[in-house]
Chain A
Amino acid sequence: EPEVTQTPSHQVTQMGQEVILRCVPISNHLYFYWYRQILGQKVEFLVSFYNNEISEKSEIFDDQFSVERPDGSNFTLKIRSTKLEDSAMYFCASSGRGPYNEQFFGPGTRLTVL
């Protein structure tokens, strides 16, 4: 069964460093999302992406964050200058049919900022 994959599974970085989290969505999906989950808390929406552009972003998704689909298969989340409060699990999700349809989540990347 097709699945969303994410790399790395765990990333440790120093405050102020840039990180890139990578995702490979399900191959025929067109709608892509990033969510994050701080340990023990709820899942929070960061950004949605369709047709090579951001369709919506949350207040969390400030100028330090960016997303890109550099080729036909990868979907990346970049954090330019990490802060301690960016430590969280970051989930990529994809959907074949967009709004009002199921989103499939990847296994997540645990980001630890020291």
Chain B
Amino acid sequence: QQPVQSPQAVILREGEDAVINCSSSKALYSVHWYRQKHGEAPVFLMILLKGGEQKGHEKISASFNEKKQQSSLYLTASQLSYSGTYFCGTEPHGSSNTGKLIFGQGTTLQVKP
């Protein structure tokens, strides 16, 4: 039931791009993306909904393939501030509609100068 994220870790140079994937074995209604820096709370980045609606930061882009039950987060022209652990949180389709998020194990991104 837990979504699987890949890769587990990424090291980039400033200005490089990265893609983080989140796959679920269950049909999803929404995928939420969060970034967490060490010792801090997760910060909301983006939500993607079944049907194509997206809500989030302008500089972050993501996709949601409902058929494949997969979402990808695109980080372009990375900056040092992008460093952190990225989590996807999923709301399975047909769930109890309580807002419960099931998180993946996280992808650690390190951006070096």
Enumerate chain A interface residues (CB-CB to B < 8 A).
31, 33, 35, 41-45, 48, 50, 55-56, 58, 91, 95, 98-108
Least CB separation from A33: chain B residue: B99
Least CB separation from A45: chain B residue: B100
Contact A55 B41, beta carbon cutoff 8 Å: no
Q: Which of B9-17, B42-50, B59-67, B75-83 contacts A (4 or more CB under 8 A)?
A: B42-50
Contact B99 A42, beta carbon cutoff 8 Å: no
Interface centre among B2, B41, B44, B96 (most CB of A within 10 A): B41
Least CB separation from A55: chain B residue: B98
C-alpha gap A103/B56 in the complex (Å): 12
Enumerate chain B interface residues (CB-CB to A < 8 A).
2, 29-30, 32, 34, 40-44, 47, 49, 55-56, 87, 89, 91, 96-106
C-alpha gap A56/B70 in the complex (Å): 25
C-alpha gap A103/B106 in the complex (Å): 17
Q: What residues of B have a CB within 8 angstroms of the CB of A35 in the complex?
A: 101
